């Protein structure tokens, strides 16, 4: 007899996203992790893993579909999905290589556990643990928290760990009448965008569809400090500064004075959810005005407060929102083109992730630009992914070249960096003047003087 129950909002969002991935790209749902086990006895490693699995229900959860509806199934006991490999390690890059190979194989969405691992020993002693978790059960923050808790348990099996809320508990709360007080404001927020301000005119893909994408990443240590300085100058956060300038650059190339970006929210704002291990992330739309007459300082502050307000509505029933979209846009050209409401609703992503770390480990020196030889060929026509780790910023832009080509992506990156310089110095300039300002005087620690050529796209 099974014990299947509906998905929580975060689980349902992840399910709806991953089911749109083309079969050849399903491995993109995997989150890789490598844990350094040197110095930890194998018995402690195995014990800590068992304790983690007992503590965190997502590690004992499988997904199943009944009449087209996904459901979660909790297992009281499982066999750890971890193989053990004895190997002589001579290359310090071997752990990351093996983790990459593990994560390169898609994890099925249904029927089994949504994670796997490989424990590597040398002469019988643990060296490292390669892991791959499906986004169906964990988000990136959760993988970091799992790692922290693993090492705490490896050091002391009786270690006191923070309280957590299981996906089933979340789901039970979300279907109760009391939760309607959160659902209604979120649905009203979405109602402002669906069929009105949401830019469905951008070329979005059907479920499983593919198209060429171009992707570039700016790497800079100094950019992290500059973002903090700009944020302090305006009394906002570093993500808000970056959000506002991405919006300004995107709007200019779309020739519009308003742009909608979808913000990735961790949905851990409530105190009881801050240490929750699971998949809680959801995107929420925010409308940003980019009137060229607006001063840069006013634009940054307005973007900050618009984002703060939007985050309040970031936990919602994805299927209800797509149902609202289908009802309002049912006869439109956008709806007729294909049936992937997930891509229609989230055409422009913005995701900021601070992974912490030690500033001493950051790489000093000049900034660099890196083009992806083959960008992910599915999903949204524009997305921004910003990762800060060890005080090093990686600012990645990916776009449909029909929306932003390679030259436009470089222009947006330059605009972001130059805008941060001006914002941090409280320069009195307008958004309209920003693209006309010279970029050549940017120091090479913020933006490279020589821009590499982008890869050729398939004809």
CB burial of residue 331 (10 Å; 0-12, 13-18, 19+): exposed
Residue whose pair of structure tokens reads 């851990």 in the numeric block: 268
- Contact by Cβ (8 Å): 310, 286: yes
Instruction: Write the pLDDT tens digit of every residue in 360-375.
Output: 666 678 999 999 998 9
> How many residues comprise the chain?
459
Strands 69-74 and 4-5 come out as: antiparallel
| H/E stretch holding 422 | helix 406-424
Cross-strand pairs, 148 = none
Q: Is the pTM of this model over 0.75?
A: yes
Crossing angle of the two packed helices 167-174 and 9-18, in degrees rounded to 10: 110
Q: In this predicted structure, what is the pLDDT of residue 178?
A: 77
Domains annotated on the chain, with CATH: 4-171 (3.30.559.10), 178-436 (3.30.559.30)
> Please, are residues 203 and 193 in contact by the beta-carbon 8 Å criterion?
no
> pLDDT for 367-413, tens place per residue?
999 999 989 999 889 999 999 999 999 999 999 999 999 999 999 99
16 phi and psi angles, rounded to 5 deg: -65, -30
Instruction: Give SS3 for 284.
Output: strand
Q: Return the bridge partners of 447, or none.
A: none
Exposed, middle or buried by CB within 10 Å (0-12, 13-18, 19+), for 114? buried
Instruction: Give residue 334's pLDDT.
Output: 52
Average pLDDT, the chain: 91
In whole angstroms, what is the distance from residue 62 CA to residue 69 CA? Answer: 14
Collapsed DSSP state (helix, strand, coil) of residue 115: strand
Q: In this model, does residue 7 exceed pLDDT 90?
A: yes
Q: Yes or no: say if 346 and 353 are a contact pair by the CB < 8 Å rule.
A: no
What percentage of the chain exceeds 70 in pLDDT?
Answer: 93
Q: How many other C-beta atoms are found inside a 10 Å radius of the C-beta of residue 200? A: 23
Q: Is 165 within 8 Å of 276 (Cβ atoms)?
A: yes
What are 156-172's pLDDT values in tens digits?
999 999 889 999 999 99
Tell me 426's DSSP state: T
Counting Cα atoms < 13 Å in the Cβ hemisphere of 417 gives: 28
What is the per-residue burial (b if ≥16 Cβ within 10 Å, else e) of 221-242? bbbbbbbbbbbebbebbbbbbb
């Amino acid at each position: 007899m099974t014990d299947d129950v509906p998905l929580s909002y975060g689980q349902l969002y992840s399910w709806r996203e991953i089911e749109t991935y083309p079969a050849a790209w399903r491995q993109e749902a995997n989150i890789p992790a490598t844990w350094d086990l040197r110095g930890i006895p194998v018995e402690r490693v195995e014990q800590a893993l068992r304790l983690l699995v007992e503590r965190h229900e997502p590690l004992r959860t499988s997904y199943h579909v009944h009449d087209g509806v996904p459901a979660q199934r909790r297992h009281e006991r499982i066999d750890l999905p971890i193989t053990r490999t004895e190997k002589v390690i001579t290359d310090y890059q071997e752990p990351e290589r093996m983790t990459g190979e593990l994560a390169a194989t898609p994890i099925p969405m249904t029927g089994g556990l949504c994670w796997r691992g490989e424990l590597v020993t040398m002469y019988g002693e643990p060296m490292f643990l390669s892991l791959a978790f499906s986004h169906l059960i964990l988000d990136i923050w959760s993988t970091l928290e799992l790692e922290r808790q693993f090492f705490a348990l490896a050091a002391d099996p009786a270690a006191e760990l923070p309280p957590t809320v299981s996906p089933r508990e979340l789901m039970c709360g979300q279907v109760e009448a009391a939760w309607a007080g959160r659902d209604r404001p979120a649905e009203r927020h979405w109602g402002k965008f669906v069929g009105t301000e949401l830019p469905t005119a951008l070329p979005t893909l059907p479920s499983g569809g593919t198209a060429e994408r171009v992707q570039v990443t700016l790497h800079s240590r100094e950019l992290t400090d500059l973002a903090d300085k700009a944020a302090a100058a305006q009394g906002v956060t570093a993500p808000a500064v970056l959000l506002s300038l991405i919006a300004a650059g995107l709007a200019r190339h779309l020739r519009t004075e308003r742009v909608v970006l979808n913000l990735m929210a961790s949905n851990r704002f409530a105190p009881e959810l801050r240490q929750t291990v699971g998949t809680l992330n959801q995107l929420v739309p925010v409308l940003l005005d980019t009137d060229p007459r607006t001063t840069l300082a006013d634009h940054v502050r307005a973007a900050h407060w618009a984002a703060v307000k939007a985050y309040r509505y970031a936990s919602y029933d994805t299927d209800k929102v797509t149902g609202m979209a289908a009802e309002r846009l049912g006869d439109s050209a956008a709806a007729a083109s294909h049936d992937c409401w997930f891509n229609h609703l989230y055409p422009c992503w913005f995701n900021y992730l601070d992974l912490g770390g030690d500033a001493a480990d950051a790489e000093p020196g000049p900034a660099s630009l890196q083009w992806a030889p083959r960008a992910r060929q599915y999903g949204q026509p524009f997305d921004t992914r910003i990762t800060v780790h060890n005080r090093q910023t990686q600012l990645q832009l990916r776009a449909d070249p029909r929306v932003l080509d390679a030259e436009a992506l470089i222009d947006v990156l330059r605009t972001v960096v130059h805008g941060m310089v001006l914002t941090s110095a409280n320069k009195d300039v307008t958004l309209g003047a920003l693209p006309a300002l010279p970029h050549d005087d940017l120091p090479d620690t913020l933006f490279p003087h020589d821009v590499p050529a982008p890869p050729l796209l398939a004809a």
